[in-house]
Chain A
Amino acid sequence: MRSEPDDRGGAVGGIDGELPASIDGLTPSTFVAPATAQEVAEVLADAAERGLAVAPVGAGTALALGNPPDRLDLVLSTARLREVIDYEPTDLVLSVGAGARLGDVQTVLAEHGQELPIDPPRGDEATIGGLIATGLAGPRRLAAGTLRDLLIGVAVAHPSGTVTKAGGMVVKNVTGFDLPRIYHGSLGTLGIVVSANFKVLPLPRAEATVTAAAPSWEAAVAAAERLRSSRLDPAALDVMRRDGAWSIGVRLMGREATVGGLADEARALLVGETAVATGAESAAWWRGYTADQAAIAQGDDVVVRISVRPRAVGGLIGSLVRLEEEQEVQVGYLGASVGVGSVVLRLRLAGDNPASRLAALREALLTLADQVVVLAAPSAWKRGFDVWGRPPETIDVMRSLKHQFDPVRVLNPGRFAGRI
């Protein structure tokens, strides 16, 4: 099925998002919204020639992510690259423009009983290109993996003025280096993804979410461990603290006839009061729960993601609770994907000099875990450190990778790990 170009270019969604006035306090002099892959490449080549810095922007739902840019001249919106290029339901593959919003893509897929099994925070509004660039993922990664696992091909525009493709429209392909997965999570610093191909999956026939309050974090983590080692094979399994109260949520998927029984089993493994949501309500519960994990700086909010090996999540939560008291941070929200090993905090820093207190908090967190990313914070507070954490030992390989793809640092200069 090839979507017929209509007056909107056969596109899903529309250009409705406001273009950002600034990124981390830097204001671009120019906005462009190219309509084709080739145009994106031309803009980049021109920027390279003139030594301009370009920030690619999708829906703007994760612009707080990254170090403040070294320079910013031009914002390039992918909003007009939003068409469904190819969708073959019987092949379970989809090719879509980078500017398409995930929510719109899911709607197209749902008409054929299919989906991309991902649930990034505020993901419905996010664009496909933005999701590839940031690599942000939600609780469903426990069972279904991330967009990285679904990505089978890309087309990318480069500062050399070329558009290249890698991978294809088949679900198995080992023709050359796995470029699509290298672009995933590269924050647009190697090239601008203009379209992407995915393996899609059948929608689960039914789903249910069981939630339960827990008297303490220890009780919540213990319940999560029971569920994880049961036969239930949860689609998502999170422990959370919201408004000071600990609770646990488990998402189950399967056939209509089975899911109810699985939910009963889950309730038996939990203690205390439980609630069950099914169908659309179940999905909505997770959208609500993860919204606070988005890389969006609201007011003086700071959002931090800490990743450890799954077995260490309980210990990490305990340490965070202690740290919270010691450092006088107000953690308004804590969401932990137990089997994944990822904890996201949304917090406020009380008192004077929040910038240096954030730097101190980050240092303290780095003693608890290897991977600490400040997903969002007021721009001025981010200048004292690398928001991505400690540079990896392979940073020189990464620098030379950047040099191969973007030698004059046109793309998002300074924003990525190691200030690449």
Chain B
Amino acid sequence: MNRTSLVERLEGILGPGGVFHRPSDLLVYEYDGSVDGAVDTALPAAVTLPTTTEQVAAIVRLAHEAGLPVTARGAGTGLSGGAVAQQGGIIVSLTRMDRIVEIDRADRTALVEPGVINLELSETTLPQGYFFAPDPSSQRACTIGGNVAENSGGPHCLKYGVTTNHVLGLEVVLPDGRIVWTGGHADGGPGYDLTAAMVGSEGMLGIVTKALVRLTPAPEATLVLLAAFGDVDAASHATSRVIGAGIVPAALELMDALTIQAVEPAYHAGYPLDAGAVLLIEIDGVVEDVRALGEEIAAICREAGATEVRSATAQAERDLLWKGRKMALAAMGRLAPNYYLHDTVVPRSKLPATLHRVDEISRHFDLPIANVFHAGDGNLHPLMLFDRRRAGDVERVLEASKEILHYCVEVGGALSGEHGIGTEKRDYVTLVYSADDLAAMAGIKNSFDPAGCFNPEKLFPKGYMCGEVRALRAQAMAQKLGIYAF
């Protein structure tokens, strides 16, 4: 199918306002939120903006017929290249499917279209006493569809879990254009847990057109503690001691000196400028517990060498303490023209050693690295500061991030805690998974998308062909045995 007839047929489905195809209109879809140079960019043939599930299905059927790749896209805030149409083809942007279809207080669920912005959902349900727990730092912009595809997390996932723990069911357009539901209001549905397969599948198995998500009752009381320490070591040891005392806070975030110096002058959150690190600890629950646990945590922090501990219960004071954390990325602009936000995980007990290694790497590459991250679950976010226009900077950033990844894997960590693999980390996947491990993943891909048209070239190493590896193996075995499985 040539481009003109493709566009014509898409316009037949969506109307002229629902298709972008002029080069100038396509440019913004070349990227996602990743840093230029860290992931590839690619131009789609067309961008579609459906408003209904049926339109999504029609687009997918057309692509299926034409053998064109399809890439779903939410707000494009992803940080692993997920929404980039690596092999061109059609981008399905879900931003116009942004209705909150139903909020059910008795069931504590919300049925939403994929283009609903994460924060909007919580802002809509909070007056009724509920919130959507996954709270990525990008929550003002990112979509629920994107959250589902990346299995996103956020500060409060320490207590409440990540996106997969909050998705009950999904309406999905499969690669052959069929519309199906996985999961639903009642659990215990028969068969394999295809909802689990969809969450975190980076748009490679199906396009989410509705999500049934769990709403969490707002806690009766909330307390935020700010604890300042001389260095990151002391702060990460304090983290381990809080957890060791049998307390799981709602959130436990660490910011190092470089972050504090970027944030405090800009947002006046009240972080001590001379601190080597601060911990932001939030606890919530019934009012009696929160008060007592707050005192307990404050005592643990002091024992662990905190130079200052402050607490806030009033909403405005809590918001101010959080503001520094939430605006940390924005504040980095004060320190350098560009930053690269890395995402790796290590076992919590390996945090001090890992932060040392990150510091060594920072010195070795002469690259300032700020650390602002989810310390409670060992999810690091080294922020590398650089200047894209300076020759060699991007390369140094990539080299440094590679060394960090290698180290994290060595100490038993993972490649990504919440941003996904996409194209950014696909060539590192073999650090953690063997050829057999990948073949099992390819088995998932093949059962949903045998033609490999949904978001190609993501997750698997460059050149890896899902279809061949696994299907051949299965066929060989069946032939050998003279069995033609159903």
CB-contacts of B223-253 with A (<8 A): 240, 243-244, 246-248
**Known contacts A173-B345, A174-B420, A391-B190, A165 near B437 by CB under 8 Å:** yes
Q: Is the CB of B421 within 8 A of A370?
A: no
Q: A184: nearest residue on chain B (CB-CB)? A: B193
**Interface-lining segment among B56-64, B116-124, B299-307, B411-419:** B411-419
Could you tell me the distance between the alpha carbons of A395 and B486 in the complex, rounded to whole angstroms? Answer: 13
Mark B469-486 against chain A: 1 for CB-CB distance below 8 A, else 0.
011011101101101011
**Known contacts A145-B161, A178-B197, A310 near B191 by CB under 8 Å:** no
Q: Is the CB of A171 within 8 A of B244?
A: no
Whether B108 sits at the interface, judged by CB under 8 Å, is yes
Could you tell me the distance between the alpha carbons of A420 and B192 in the complex, rounded to whole angstroms? Answer: 10
**Interface-lining segment among A17-25, A77-85, A255-263, A283-291:** A255-263
* Neighbour of A342 across the interface among B164, B188, B286, B412, CB < 8 A: B188
Q: Which residues of A contact B348 (CB under 8 A)?
A: 90-92
Mark A119-144 against chain B: 1 for CB-CB distance below 8 A, else 0.
00000000000000000000000000
Q: Is the CB of B421 within 8 A of A185?
A: no
Could you tell me the distance between the alpha carbons of A409 and B434 in the complex, rounded to whole angstroms? Answer: 24
CB-contacts of B388-440 with A (<8 A): 412-421, 425, 429, 432-434, 436-437, 439-440
Mark B182-196 against chain A: 1 for CB-CB distance below 8 A, else 0.
101111111111101
Could you tell me the distance between the alpha carbons of A165 and B441 in the complex, rounded to whole angstroms? Answer: 10
Could you tell me the distance between the alpha carbons of A158 and B418 in the complex, rounded to whole angstroms? Answer: 29
Could you tell me the distance between the alpha carbons of A160 and B288 in the complex, rounded to whole angstroms? Answer: 55
Q: Which residues of A contact B190 (CB under 8 A)?
A: 371, 373, 386, 388-392, 417-418
Could you tell me the distance between the alpha carbons of A96 and B434 in the complex, rounded to whole angstroms? Answer: 21
Whether A307 sits at the interface, judged by CB under 8 Å, is yes
CB-contacts of B370-403 with A (<8 A): 374, 377-379
Q: B413: nearest residue on chain A (CB-CB)? A: A170
Could you tell me the distance between the alpha carbons of A305 and B444 in the complex, rounded to whole angstroms? Answer: 29
Q: B163: nearest residue on chain A (CB-CB)? A: A174
Whether B456 sits at the interface, judged by CB under 8 Å, is no
Whether B322 sits at the interface, judged by CB under 8 Å, is no
Q: Which residues of B contact A311 (CB under 8 A)?
A: 104, 106-107
Could you tell me the distance between the alpha carbons of A407 and B416 in the complex, rounded to whole angstroms? Answer: 32
Whether B180 sits at the interface, judged by CB under 8 Å, is yes
- Tell me the A residues contacting B by CB distance below 8 Å: 48-49, 51, 88-93, 113-114, 145, 148-149, 156, 158-160, 162-166, 168-179, 181-182, 184-186, 190-191, 201-203, 205, 231-233, 254-255, 257-258, 261-262, 305, 307-311, 339-342, 369-371, 373, 386, 388-395, 397-401, 403-405, 407-409, 416-418, 420
10 interchain residue pairs of minimum CB distance? A181-B196, A202-B246, A404-B443, A309-B185, A417-B190, A311-B106, A388-B190, A307-B188, A407-B474, A172-B417
- Tell me the B residues contacting A by CB distance below 8 Å: 104, 106-109, 150-151, 153, 157, 161-162, 164-165, 174, 180-182, 184-194, 196-197, 199-201, 205, 217, 220, 240, 243-244, 246-248, 285-286, 288-289, 292-293, 345-349, 374, 377-379, 412-421, 425, 429, 432-434, 436-437, 439-441, 443-448, 450, 459, 470-471, 473-475, 477-478, 480-481, 483, 485-486
Q: With contacts A175-B416, A231-B220 known, what are 6 further pairs, Cβ within 8 A? A: A88-B349, A90-B348, A170-B347, A174-B418, A190-B192, A371-B187
